[in-house]
Amino acid sequence: MGEGAFWHPQRRSCCWVDIQESELFEYRLGSVGAVTSTHSAVSRWRIPGNVSLIAEAADDHLILGVSGGLLRFNLVTGEHTQVVSFEPELPTNRCNDGGCDPLGRVWVGTMDRGCKDGAGSLYRVDTDGTVTRMLTKLSIPNGMAWSPDHKRMFFIDTPTQQVRAYLFDKDSGQIELERTVITVPSDWGMPDGMAMDAEGMLWIALYNGACVTRWDPATGELLDRIGLPALHVTNCAFIGDGLDSLLVTSASEGMSPEQLAAYPGSGDIFIISGMPVMGLPVNKARI
């Protein structure tokens, strides 16, 4: 279950996770623009709990979303400490996707490991560690991104097949539902992870759709589609010094032998070079 696609600009590295195996990976790029297929540049760590969200923190640290809360993880030493905990009363829940807002607050969704309908929530963790539940009755909270002007937050709860726009108050961290901006037809796959590009368009990974897609949130129009040899495409992130490549994660969980034969790249990690548009830098966690 590949997830958590992430670019660490200071370390010039790509990170991702395997949720089910509770593993974190880091792939450090070589010289500028160099991307190779060697596995020697990949580091991996076992993380306590099902790890999902990755966010950059200070001094070679990451903030990780795991079962029951957030961890601070040191990429140099491999040490980790608990930052905040939530939902102790829901032992079958775990964190899923999320992101950091422009002021460094961490937003993370939770869900039931068995995908029980309405069992999840969306939390905001402020820079002082205060935890606020922002949305409830979610099922599989996934992709999240902020508009270039920071006035809107875009959010996916996968089973709805929708991307919703929330008016975002940067100072207070409050959100207000504005409207549904994108509806993905069910036979195209399910919207999963999401990234914002420099033109304000949304790149969405389609689980069960074998592709990443580009959408205009103003019109809901599909603008581009990049097919992949993986059926369950889970997340994407712009990477590289120019943010002009796309890191894409995928999953092989629950696939039949016939599906695996038809989509032999399922569960692989992809780098798509020479993207037609650059990405936006993601925000850094300040908790």
Known catalytic residues are 192
Structure tokens at 166: 């929330």
Amino acid (one-letter) located at 193: G
277 CB neighbour count, 10 Å cutoff: 16
CA distance 34 to 191: 30
89 contact partners, CB below 8 Å, separation of at least 6: none
- Write the DSSP symbol of residue 279: B
CA distance 284 to 55: 7
Output the DSSP codes for 2-67.
Answer: EEEEEEETTTTEEEEEETTTTEEEEEE--STT-----STTEEEEE-SS----EEE-STTEEEEEET
CA distance 84 to 69: 6
CA distance 203 to 60: 27
Burial class (CB in 10 A: 0-12, 13-18, 19+), 88: exposed
Give the alpha-carbon dihedral of 233, 197, 158, 110, to 10 degrees. 100
